[in-house]
Amino acid sequence: MSEIKEIIISSDKIHTDQYLVNMGPQHPSTHGVLRLLVRLEGEIVHHIQPHVGYIHSGIEKMCEAISYPQVIHLTDRMDYLSAHMNNEAVALCVENALQIEVPERVKYIRTIMDELSRLASHQLWWCVMGMDLGALTTFFYGLRDREHILDIFEETCGARMTLNYSLPGGVMFDIHPNFQKRVKEFIKEFKKKLPEYDQLLTGNVIFQERTKEIGYLSREDAIAWGVTGPSGRGSGFSCDVRKHQPYSAYPLVQFEEKLDTRGDTFTRYRLRIEEMYESMHIIEQLIDNIPEGDYAVKMKGVVKLPEGEFYQRVESARGEFGVYIVSDGKKNPYRVKFRSPGFSNLFALNKMASGHKIADLVAIMSTLDLVIPDIDR
């Protein structure tokens, strides 16, 4: 007869070593050439150290050798999903330095383009986040709706992503005769389609289990790390540049800055969905009221800024994008510095993911909506 022995193992006697895992630089969930050095104990994340530089292009240095209008053509190669906002930031910075007042028509067109760009960016973020967590259907739904916006861009701007549409003094071309009609048709249809996003993903029990109370970031930490955009507002940090320093036609429209203090992954996800409703609301207020007039003011062939330092910020799809220009009075900048939202948001990742499982890291990072060329420029 065999003797049954009860073996009790005390948890304080179990020892596991910590080890390092490279997530990237080639990894589908980093959505670009990003390397995360992750220190793990079992499946638990203890520390994350982002490593950038793999696709560094030296854009800021390149700006010192080109003219101000040419600088615009480089900015949409950074955050290519906020291309129009980046272009507009440089144009506004130059216009403010030269004390140029653009026509009202330009302000309306730029703002509509901003919000269409925000919608297209959030649509791509939504379909990719679902795919990161195993919901492949979202990818097809999001791309289906985004194509309509890209078609509108192509008809007016001649490009679908890197638009190069804003320039100092106005926009490159006037809007296409079909522009207002197509935008209104898209808004009407997308208002019916957006609730499907909630049906497919937001209300999914598995999705909620993987995102609620995961990746918490407090308001104080969001401010300390400079986290802006929906990622910062999901922690209760009021940081919408459109509200705090309105530009273009934003002073003329009514919209709500979506805020929540819960600070978890699900909250950051939810705020981006709500922002899409607000973007449509902004467009609806402007699309039938675009003033008649010129689409640009006449500028000199060579643009020279007065000596000094100039800064302009805008609200991109990922947060505050800033342009800092130092001018010595010549036709090209003496120094250019960009404030990209993705860089600050990325380095708060360690604060959000430490203590969670490595599988949660993918979900947390998805709600930051990183675009790597915006970070590694």
The least confident of 7-21, 34-48, 195-209 is: 7-21
User: Is residue 299 within 8 Å of 97, Cβ to Cβ?
Assistant: no
Over residues 246-294, the pLDDT tens digits come to: 999 999 999 999 999 999 999 999 999 999 999 999 999 999 999 999 9
Out of 3.90.25.10, 1.10.645.10, 3.40.1710.10, 1.10.10.10, the CATH code matching 14-375 is: 1.10.645.10
Alpha helices in the chain (DSSP H): 59-62, 68-75, 83-98, 104-132, 137-157, 179-197, 205-211, 219-225, 229-233, 241-244, 265-286, 341-346, 349-353, 358-366, 372-375
| Average pLDDT of the residues of the chain | 90
C-alpha 316: how far from chain center: 6
- Give every CB contact of residue 63 below 8 A, 6+ residues apart in sequence: 71, 74, 332, 333, 336
Over residues 157-178, the pLDDT tens digits come to: 988 888 889 999 999 989 999 9
The least confident of 43-47, 218-222, 299-303 is: 299-303
pLDDT at 343 over 70: yes
- Work out the pLDDT band at 13, boundaries 50, 70, 90: low
Copy the structure tokens of residue 37: 């050095």
Copy the structure tokens of residue 119: 């919608």
**Is the preceding peptide bond at 25 cis, omega within 30 degrees of 0?**
yes
Over residues 109-143, the pLDDT tens digits come to: 999 999 999 999 999 999 889 888 888 888 888 89
pLDDT at 47 over 50: yes
Q: Give the pLDDT of residue 5.
A: 39
Q: Give the pLDDT of residue 200.
A: 87
- Work out the pLDDT band at 18, boundaries 50, 70, 90: confident
**What are the boundaries of each domain within the chain?**
14-375
User: Is residue 335 within 8 Å of 64, Cβ to Cβ?
Assistant: yes
pLDDT at 14 over 90: no
pLDDT at 144 over 70: yes
Alpha helices in 5-136 (DSSP H): 59-62, 68-75, 83-98, 104-132
Distance CA(188)–CA(171), nearest Å, equals 26
Distance CA(302)–CA(281), nearest Å, equals 39
Distance CA(319)–CA(333), nearest Å, equals 25
